[in-house]
Amino acid sequence: MSWYRNTVWFVKGLREYTRSGYESASKHFNPADVEVNVAGRSFLVTGANSGIGKATATEIARRGGTVHLVCRNKERAEVAKGEIVTETGNQNIFLHIVDISNPREIWRFAEKFKNEHKLNVLINNAGCMVNNRELTGDGLEKNFATNTLGTYILTTALLPLLEKEADARVITVSSGGMLVQKLNVSDLQSGNGTFDGTMVYAQNKRQQVVLTEQWAKAHRNIHFSVMHPGWADTPAVRSAMPDFYQKMKNSLRTEAQGADTVVWLAISSEATKLPSGLFFQDRQPVPTHLPLASTHSPPADEEKLMEVLEEFSQKFKSTSPG
């Protein structure tokens, strides 16, 4: 069935995920939804120095929000911060240097952040697509460490801070690529068989959808959502998927178009009128499975994913100095 899933997803993508798909969908947007002043509210955006993360941070800053940029590369992050401040006139932009593939670093950051700041909205945007199997210094497969475990640890570590606030939200930037993957808890670090970075990434993005659904059940006073930005022209797409980029570059969305639904989920009152735990595309909840694609997983597998991630999380928390 994988050929079927891949074909259906690509055809769907050509129709909906490109710039023309955004332009068609946006005809039905209500501009007032995002004409919101969010001064006094605090937002944390990971992977915020470029692409969809930076576009999201910029739009929130433009609306008066306090924005915490979480980035891995200090030099690029400082440039991005300066550009956001200059473009928006908002001085309440704070920079934190954290490698989301390093679980100990995430724990240290989260513990410090909780003592120094408040948080209304967490936006999990950082991600990677490594095309050859690569291990981090902790022996973790790098895609899994960044996209899944990093997202899990940062979110769960900051939940107590979010729980203190009214209208708290968590948004995770996933991908429509997850539609071609069924949750696989037997090989979370992709050590078996041939390594295909694109499919590993898609599996991680399926895992993020499951995480969001599980968190929504467990934490009723926080609004969780996960979304697909469409196919956007970002540095990550250009570097990780050069063949795809060359083929599609004239049809890709802008970074701002890719970020539009993230911003809508983060600031609009309309978003939280919808149930927590849904998957969004162009400001609308959409199915998390293709018709006839056999990608549904049993509840036991979803519970197993949460258990394994919690075990990893606690292991790295207990060995975090400081």
DSSP state letters, 122-144: EEE------SS--B-TTS-BHHI
CA-to-CA separations, 100 to 20, 28, 47, 48, 119, in angstroms, rounded: 33, 36, 9, 12, 18
CA gap 65, 76 in Å, rounded: 22
CA gap 63, 186 in Å, rounded: 44
CA gap 292, 11 in Å, rounded: 15
Q: Which of 22, 152, 201, 245 is catalytic?
A: 201
The answer to whether residue 17 is catalytic is: no
Q: How far apart are the first and last CA of the chain?
A: 49
Q: At residue 180, what is the residue type?
A: V
Ordered mean pLDDT values, 10 residues apiece, the chain (322 residues): 69 80 96 98 97 97 98 97 98 98 98 97 95 96 98 98 97 93 96 93 97 98 96 74 73 93 98 98 95 91 98 85 52
Say what the pLDDT of residue 239 is: 75
Residues 257, 287, 34: CA angle, nearest 5 degrees:
35
Assigned domain for 321 exists: no
Say what the pLDDT of residue 267 is: 98
Q: What would you measure as the largest C-alpha separation in the chain, in angstroms? A: 52
Number of domains, the chain: 1
Per DSSP, the three-state class of 88 is helix
Quick one: how far is CA 311 from the chain centroid? 22
Per DSSP, the three-state class of 280 is strand
Assigned domain for 322 exists: no
In the chain, % helix, strand, coil (3-state, to 5) comes to 50, 15, 35
Assigned domain for 279 exists: yes
Assigned domain for 288 exists: yes
pTM higher than the cut 0.85? yes
Exposure of 31 in the CB half-sphere (CA atoms within 13 A)? 1
Q: What is the CATH number of the domain that holds 118?
A: 3.40.50.720
CA-to-CA separations, 291 to 47, 73, 198, in angstroms, rounded: 32, 41, 22
Assigned domain for 215 exists: yes
CA-to-CA separations, 209 to 36, 106, 305, 307, in angstroms, rounded: 27, 21, 12, 16
Give the number of residues written for the chain: 322
Write out the H or E segment, with its range, that includes residue 69. Answer: strand 66-71
Q: Which of 229, 242, 243, 142 is nearest to 177 (CA)?
A: 229
Range of the domain at 288: 3-315
Assigned domain for 117 exists: yes
Assigned domain for 85 exists: yes
177 in the Ramachandran plot: left (φ > 0), alpha (ψ -120 to 50) or beta?
alpha
Q: Are 229 and 262 in contact (CB under 8 A)?
A: yes
CA gap 140, 144 in Å, rounded: 7
State the DSSP code for 275: P
Assigned domain for 320 exists: no
